[in-house]
Structure 1
């Protein structure tokens, strides 16, 4: 009898233990049903804590060189979807009273500025707007290695004293290519151009294509002359980084000689202004045109054209000189720096840059997939030879002035050089004299800059 009672007690105890285990398993949410009283079958599920809505703010954006229409198309919908609490206020950058200097003078300072490297001194640093993003990069664990290093390093070298990060690179930036009018090649029985050609080959074709027929003068070659020098394969600056003089006289002479010969072909003379020369190809009477690759290009007046890789001067690095990207920067006066940084991160996201690339904008990140779809959704470029754009590697940005050297805006120095080339190409002077004049004018600009800082 005692033994029978002991067996009963053991059986009861085992049953209680089993029940407790079942209850514990249920409480732990086994099978994904949720905690007790919160499962899908619970008649009275506990209400979840609502996320507190973020306070609405305004962010002002000044993007010199970019229209409001372009900004809206590329960024606004994405940003509004991602940050519904942020109202983006567009500050016009064209027209009277809309320069960044005008806004700063009136005390209406934007939170985000887009600028380019050639004017960052006068349009950002000299205005006391500089803000170092490194703290925010660290806080958000933002991966800077995703960018093409030539654009990040070049900007840091240009703007910082101790490694400060004042901006992140944003498209557009521009490669160099040769455009050609296929109708003229057909008309004169010449084979089409191909990638990897040399300047000597292009020169021979330009000579053959330059002619007068039925009273119409056809030119074999024209160019946006700025692309020869500002975006050169040597990554050579106009003003020497360490001296107050023209950099590398002999290299500039080599470039001048290479290009001027095209304008010495009879009936292929350069136009009297660089603007006129740059617009000649659109008239339909020029066979080959050297210019930047640009998503803004309008060649709709030409029925049949394509492009190939830009030739590289013999002995130069086999790299394509590029027009640097813009840079997105935060002002130190902004009261919403973190939100501004979040917006910038989204503008530079892979998703946005992939869409940009499909529309013809070169990505600022290292992403071969983006380059492989470049221009596929662009009505201008979807059927063109897009391999020409990146046929060679992109050259590093031109070196900046050494620490302690007097700085002048790069576009001022480059304009002096281009004008000297025009004088030589027009036959007003020889190449050596043109370059010596460039050297003299650069020294004068440096002295002016020194006198302003005294």
Structure 2
């Protein structure tokens, strides 16, 4: 990694501070030293050392490609801090986190979604408590969406290892062409899950040799961000909740059984890929950020969004927010500069820029939220759906949360396919989750 030097103006300032140049740089250029008389210059001052060049290396554990990073973050950061060299590395073959650690490659700021970030950093001792720097740089945590900050503090045991920079929640995408084809009214903001699953059954049909599917989703995302706020494990006892908390039965019934006419009739769960490629999925619960990530793909579909449906006994509550968090690492070379950049990334100015692009800001500021999608190629879409719901509370998370989500989602898929029932799936998932927790705890010893 090559560090770049500050602009020539910095060097000029340094030279201006030398004893020989004081006369030329002082007001009036009199050559006097203030209180002393003419010729009484006092002891000669040593030249000030030039400031050390600053390079900040961002590392994406999630493999976010460089053009995506630059569009959302890098270009704006470089414009704001032209004297800083902003470098970027993302996880791929040769730069996975274990490979980065083995090679001794320094990275100063890293990011991933809540629950993954800490799972990667803490076991490797790469976390850094930013609390003091946050206070020093006057970053007011009360400006942020509450559930994201609470989750960060909970995972860090009160310490703050990262700050949210943008958010993700689930919304309901729908294909207008399918609704038009079958003469069915479009979905609306504020629907219930029962209304949605009944609608899905009505639109799950074959026509002209095409199998249309009323509802699709990504099982992992829906499990991780579940609207019922079910914890995956009890952190106090390190035990899975899948076979103990009855809300899991309601979760599986609502999302993996009810949308189908006959459980197991559809062997695959349609998600974003068939929604944009085969165009045979009527509704899809998916990340709001898909709008900025799959811009070209979505141009091929006549689509829109509405707010994620809610449960009748908990109206107006959507999914959990899956915040994307940035944090300074323990191996960061210049933590002050890194915090300066993070403070900017969470400023009203930067967040407004994200919001205009259609990227969900993490601030509660209505002025920032109100411009969501204004500069998006899809600015005519129903962007207000993103903030229509109140976020579901984020339950306590553990460092093995991501593994449990994978397990629970796998068994949900089997329920959808008709390969097992809810009770059997819960028991089997519990046994697998226990083994995964034991494996994690043994590594931590």
Q: TM-score range by the shorter chain?
A: 0.7 to 0.9
Q: CA deviation at 1:342?
A: 0.7
Q: How does 1:232-251 map to 2 (within 5 A)?
A: 232-243=226-237, 244-247=239-242, 248-251=244-247
1:394 corresponding residue in structure 2: 391
Distance change >3 Å, CA 136–CA 266, structure 1 → 2: closer
CA distance in 2: counterparts of 1:149 and 1:58, whole angstroms: 32
2:282 corresponding residue in structure 1: 287
CA distance in 2: counterparts of 1:165 and 1:77, whole angstroms: 26
Q: CA deviation at 1:363?
A: 0.7
1:46 is aligned to 2:28: yes
Match of 2:260 among 247, 258, 264: 264
1:149 is aligned to 2:146: yes
1:69 corresponding residue in structure 2: 67
2:410 corresponding residue in structure 1: 419
CA distance in 2: counterparts of 1:296 and 1:194, whole angstroms: 24
1:106 corresponding residue in structure 2: 103
- Detail structure 1 runs of 4+ shifted over 4 Å in the superposition: 51-54
CA distance in 1: counterparts of 2:72 and 2:279, whole angstroms: 32
CA distance in 2: counterparts of 1:155 and 1:267, whole angstroms: 38
Check conservation: 2:257, 2:415, Cα contact below 8 A: no
1:210 is aligned to 2:207: no
1:326-354 deviation line (CA, Å, top 9, x unaligned): 22211222231111111111222211110
Q: CA deviation at 1:263?
A: 4.9
CA distance in 2: counterparts of 1:126 and 1:254, whole angstroms: 34
Q: CA deviation at 1:315?
A: 2.5
Check conservation: 1:167, 1:327, Cα contact below 8 A: yes
Q: CA deviation at 1:149?
A: 2.2
CA distance in 2: counterparts of 1:257 and 1:133, whole angstroms: 42
Distance change >3 Å, CA 234–CA 260, structure 1 → 2: closer
CA distance in 1: counterparts of 2:76 and 2:307, whole angstroms: 34
Distance change >3 Å, CA 134–CA 453, structure 1 → 2: closer
CA distance in 2: counterparts of 1:304 and 1:154, whole angstroms: 36
1:346-402 deviation line (CA, Å, top 9, x unaligned): 2222111101101111111111122211111111x311111211111112222124x
1:117 corresponding residue in structure 2: 114
Distance change >3 Å, CA 133–CA 203, structure 1 → 2: closer
Gaps of 5+ in 2: 1-25, 31-47
Q: Normalization by structure 1: what TM-score?
A: 0.80
1:180-212 deviation line (CA, Å, top 9, x unaligned): 111111111111111111222222222222222
Match of 2:432 among 425, 438, 441: 441
CA distance in 2: counterparts of 1:144 and 1:78, whole angstroms: 22
Check conservation: 2:372, 2:383, Cα contact below 8 A: yes
1:96 is aligned to 2:93: yes
Check conservation: 2:123, 2:444, Cα contact below 8 A: no
1:158 corresponding residue in structure 2: 155
Gaps of 5+ in 1: 1-43, 402-406
Q: CA deviation at 1:414?
A: 0.6
CA distance in 2: counterparts of 1:307 and 1:96, whole angstroms: 36
CA distance in 1: counterparts of 2:126 and 2:91, whole angstroms: 20
Distance change >3 Å, CA 427–CA 346, structure 1 → 2: same
2:42 corresponding residue in structure 1: none
Distance change >3 Å, CA 337–CA 229, structure 1 → 2: same
Q: CA deviation at 1:424?
A: 1.3
CA distance in 1: counterparts of 2:27 and 2:335, whole angstroms: 40
Deviates more, 1:429-438 or 1:137-146: 137-146
CA distance in 1: counterparts of 2:186 and 2:226, whole angstroms: 25
Q: CA deviation at 1:322?
A: 3.0
Deviates more, 1:115-124 or 1:389-398: 115-124
Check conservation: 1:116, 1:326, Cα contact below 8 A: yes
Check conservation: 1:176, 1:291, Cα contact below 8 A: yes
Larger Rg: 1
Q: CA deviation at 1:431?
A: 0.8
Q: CA deviation at 1:54?
A: 4.3
Q: Normalization by structure 2: what TM-score?
A: 0.82
CA distance in 1: counterparts of 2:441 and 2:308, whole angstroms: 38
2:180 corresponding residue in structure 1: 186
1:394 partner SS: coil
2:165 corresponding residue in structure 1: 170
Q: CA deviation at 1:218?
A: 1.9
